[in-house]
Every structure is written in structure tokens, then in C-alpha cells.
Amino acid sequence: MPVKLYMNQHVPKAITVGLRLRSVDVLTAFEDQSHELDDASLLDRANELKRVLFSQDDDLLTEAAKRQKSGRAFCGVIYAHPLRISIGKCVEDLELIAKACDPEDLLNQVVFLPLK
């Protein structure tokens, strides 16, 4: 089963468009009208939708770490620092994760891009 992605509001539109052109299931926080939620609520929303949250926001890493330490389940977070990865490489890595992984592989995990 492919991984469904949920894009944080700070993710460039070009990444979302690139993934959709590659047939990756992507929903943005703007499309979901959740773009004004705080990090904890945004991660909760991604979990409700059973989607892995992709973000370029450092604060989301803190929220994910809190949940890992407390044992509070989440569908997963994929993080890429915007200055350390190109849009093209980001699209490639996210496509690989979405098509090659199962949602269970990312449960309670934080994955850092680029994959290498």
C-alpha cells in the first residue's frame, strides 16, 4: 500500500506539483484548510487522515521527538531542511518513500531528506 503524504503549509508548491505529476497521493494543509494549525494539531490532523506529514519546519521535529519519547503514536514525519536539498531531489526522495514503503514502515518515525 503506498504512503499518502500530507504537506505542511511551508512546503513549496513545486514539490507538491512534482509529486502529483508522478502519481503520488498528496494533500496540502491549505487544501485541507488546516494551514493555521499549530505543529501539534497539524500532526494530529495528519494522523486523523492516516498520512505521513512532510515538513521543512524545524519545530515539527521537536513535536515528533516528544511523541516518540512519550509513546504517543503518529503516522510519521519526513523532514528536509530547505537549504540542504533541491526541489528536484526532494520530489525524487518523497516519490521513492511514497511508492516503496508501507505506511507501517514510517509509523512513529522521523525520516530525514536527502536519503543520500
Reported as type and span, the H/E element at residue 63 is: helix 58-70
Q: What domain range is 54 assigned to?
A: 5-113
Q: Is the pTM of this model over 0.85?
A: yes
Q: Record the cell numbers describing residue 31, joined without a space.
A: 487544501
The count of structural domains within the chain is 1
Residues 18-30: tens digit of each pLDDT: 999 999 999 999 9
Phi/psi class of residue 89: alpha, beta or left (left: φ > 0; alpha: ψ in -120 to 50)?
A: alpha
Kindly report the length of the chain.
116
pLDDT by residue (tens digit) across 44-90? 999 999 999 999 999 999 999 999 999 999 999 999 999 999 999 99
Spell out a b/e string for 29-57, using b for 16 or more CB atoms within 10 Å of the CB, else e.
beebebeebebeebbbbbbeeebbbbbbb
Residue 74 to residue 61: CA distance in whole angstroms:
12
pLDDT at 116: 85
